[in-house]
């Protein structure tokens, strides 16, 4: 018997967007410049290699978000204990909406989703630099 999926991605995104705060590129840049916000780029590294990255952003693979935030995780990163805003970004704002939701549920605050993601950042002619392969 085939699986019966009862909750789709549209449902998950609707739920996430009801719980989180979102910012557009202008507001994100203001938070970065004036509130020491950290832009957390959750795209796959291959997307960074292909499209570049935002200067001073922090790459956190989507699959590691929860593990890097949680203090009791062996993969915890101290940057997530800092008292500052966190803005999550993916390519188009969908994966990052889900990441923002989970980060917020874990207690990270304030946490925001970048509306339109990297595509919106690029379309706003905001700064982008190459991401070198290591």
Residue 66 contacts residue 102 (beta carbons within 8 Å): yes
pLDDT of residue 64: 98
Domain residue ranges in the chain: 12-123
The pLDDT of residue 133: 86
Distance in angstroms (rounded) separating the CA atoms of residues 47 and 67:
21
**Contact call for residues 104 and 111 (beta carbons, < 8 A):** yes
Separation CA 99–CA 59 (nearest Å): 13
What class is the 12-123 domain? alpha beta
Q: What is the pLDDT of residue 1?
A: 87
pTM of the predicted model as reported, rounded to 2 decimal places: 0.96
10-residue block means of pLDDT along the chain (134 residues)?
A: 95 98 98 98 98 98 98 98 98 98 98 98 98 86
20 neighbors 111 (Cβ within 8 angstroms):
yes
């Amino acid at each position: 018997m085939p699986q019966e999926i009862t909750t789709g991605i549209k449902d998950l995104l609707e739920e996430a967007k009801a719980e989180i705060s979102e910012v557009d590129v202008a507001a994100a840049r203001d938070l970065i410049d004036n509130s020491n916000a950290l832009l957390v780029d959750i795209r796959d590294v291959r997307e960074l290699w292909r499209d570049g990255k935002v200067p001073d952003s922090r790459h956190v693979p989507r699959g590691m978000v929860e593990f890097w935030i949680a203090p009791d995780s062996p993969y915890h990163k101290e940057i997530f204990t800092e008292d500052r805003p966190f803005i999550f970004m993916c390519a188009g704002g969908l994966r990052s909406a889900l990441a923002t939701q989970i980060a917020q549920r874990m207690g990270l605050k304030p946490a925001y989703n970048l509306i339109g993601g990297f595509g919106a950042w690029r379309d706003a002619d905001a700064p982008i630099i190459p991401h070198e392969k290591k």
